[in-house]
Amino acid sequence: MVIAGSTSVQPLMEKIVDRYRKMHPELKINVEGGGSSAGIMAVITGTARLGMSSRQLKMQDEKESSLTPITIAYDAIIMVVHVDNPVNVLSREQVRDLFAGRLTSWKQVGGHDREVHLIIREEGSGTRSAFDDLVMVENKKPVDIHPFALVQDSMGGVREVVKNDPDAIGFISMGGINSDIKVIRLNGVEPSFASIKNHQYELVRPFLLLTRGALDPVAQRLVDYVFSADGERIMQEEGCVSARK
Amino acid sequence: MSVPENKPSNSLSRREERIRRILQLMALSSVSVLALIIVFVFREGLPLIYNKGFAAFLGGQRWAPTRGSFGIFPMIVGTIEVTLGALLIGVPLSLLVSLYLSEFADRKVRTVMKPLIELLAAVPSVVYGFIGVILLVPLVRNYVGGTGFSVLSASIILGIMILPTIISISLDALRAVPQNYREGSLALGATSWQTAVRVVLPAARSGIITAVILGMGRAMGETMAVIMVAGNAVVVPTSALHPCRTLTSNIAIEMAYASGAHQQALFATGVVLFVMIFCLNISATLFVRRK
């Protein structure tokens, strides 16, 4: 069985499939990348049994091709600052302008008159691609992050820098929140499992599995495993919120 | 009498021959690993350089591999700046230390200090990086400016990391200067400082240059400690307080999720790094030969 699509969903599915195969070593399941669009195409053409997508189906042909989307998880971007930073609330546009380098002082968003230090993840990381997709967009066109943004290659790294630098702002995923840093309320909404699931919190993208027509029993059992307690635990480890009811 | 004596020596020489072969094979295998690495890195990396164009890859300012931009110019500059910064800090310090140990210290001091300095090389680089993040970066942020993650912080950490390499090799070079050079100089009325700086130091020049080049290679190749303190932003740093990304950091930071052209671009980064370090090592070897 081939599962193909979004490189953001891929690490999560690889973990889940790895764990699943420990119980069913006879199964041959390949998890491949390629991107959301490639994954959707692969399911339509039948080269993949399951597709992975980190965005809702939007194009007309995707809707007409009788694909069934299954939302397995939500990937939320949490904006974090130093605990002493007086700023509590930012809008999505303010976050974008901060990271684009258009706003350079905390004073411009209601804080002290100090230079903003941007902390980002490296190119290719899932959290970074979610941030690019959800925040760094203006009139549907991508906006570049300011080149002076400091790059960390792990969520722990971002958290460590933000914890120690009073002027820093960074982004992490839901699983990384702790008391070392302060969570920004986006448009006044506190990110939580509830506000993520009901879409009140804006910086969320869904992780979808796609199938064409009804699931066969083998695929159905894997999907059941995705929604099991085990699957939920793996999602937590990977920093996403399970869509399990 | 001669027959029983011949027999064991014959089988002994055959055994020696076998051992020689085995050792030869092992020596070859380590070289073939190098050959494998070269072939692999170049095979994976060269197509991308070729496709994007040599000038666009080496001279490009924008690095956004998930959106098709592959310019590593800022990282080449970052690597050179951080390496030179490390030499600026590390070389004078190591030369003074090795001059002291060679010319002015008691033998007792020397026999204690040299192994201690060499122990510096045994400290894992992640520990240097950690100390850098916890101590140095906040110091730079609070007393010098910027975010603290900077060319300056990386240079200081690397400057310390190359100390043992440069000190121990240049100390050996200084000790190798014949004693009668010193005696001659002192007999002519020179002070011990004049003797050390004007006679011993120039006499050990080629060894010291080798030490500096090897230290340079160490600075250029260091990854972990640099990632932790340099900030890793892809910009051409025009100030010591600007963040920067080195070539090695680029590979280590992005390899986890890279695929397709992005992965090739990281191998291509490796090709550039390989060529730079290869040139350094060749020049070090040439200096050793000249000596």
Q: What is the C-alpha to C-alpha distance for residues B232 and B248, in angstroms, rounded to an integer?
A: 11
The residue that leads in pLDDT, B125 or A54, is B125
CA nearest A117 in B: which residue? Answer: B147
pLDDT band at A35 (very low <50, low <70, confident <90, very high): confident
Binning pLDDT at 50, 70 and 90, where does residue A60 land? low
Q: Tens digit of pLDDT for each residue in A74-88?
A: 988 999 999 999 999
Question: Which two three-digit tokens encode residue B30?
Answer: 């380590």
pTM: 0.83
B40 versus A60: the higher-pLDDT residue is B40
Is any Cβ of chain B less than 8 angstroms from the Cβ of A37?
no
CA A191, CA A225: separation in Å to the nearest integer? 27
Q: Does A153 touch chain B (CB under 8 A)?
A: yes
- The shortest C-alpha distance from A136 to chain B (Å) reads 14
Chain A 163-222, residues with CB within 8 Å of chain B CB atoms: 164-165, 167-168
The A residues from 86 to 125 touching B (CB cutoff 8 Å) are 117, 122-125
- Residues pairing with A168 in the sheet: A117
Nearest to B65 among A123, A142, A151 (CB): A123
**For B73-84, what is the mean pLDDT?**
96
Q: What are phi and psi of A117, to 5 degrees?
A: -105, 120
More confident residue, B216 or A127: B216
Ranges of H-type helices in chain A: 10-23, 36-45, 60-64, 92-100, 126-134, 155-164, 193-197, 217-226, 229-237
Provide, as residue numbers in chain A, all residues whose Cβ is less than 8 Å from the Cβ of B66.
Answer: 123-124, 129
Q: Find out whether A54 and A205 touch, Cβ atoms under 8 Å.
A: yes
Q: Tell me the C-alpha to C-alpha distance, in Å, between residue B128 and each of A125, B39, B158, B227.
A: 26, 33, 9, 11
In terms of Cα–Cα distance, which of B222, B106, B239 is closest to B163? B222
Give tens-digit pLDDT for B11-44.
778 888 999 999 999 999 989 998 999 999 999 9
Contacts of A129 in chain B (CB under 8 A): 66
Which of B65, B66, B149 shows the shortest C-beta gap to A150?
Answer: B149
Chain A residues inside the 8 Å CB shell of B63: 123
Note the maximum CA span of chain A. Answer: 62
The closest CB to that of B258, out of A124, A150, A164, belongs to A124
pLDDT tens digits for range A188-219: 999 988 888 888 999 998 898 999 888 888 88
Question: Hey, CA dihedral for B146, B149, B153, B154, is it positive or negative?
Answer: negative
Confidence grade of residue A126 (pLDDT, cut at 50, 70, 90): confident
**What are A5's two structure tokens?**
């699509």
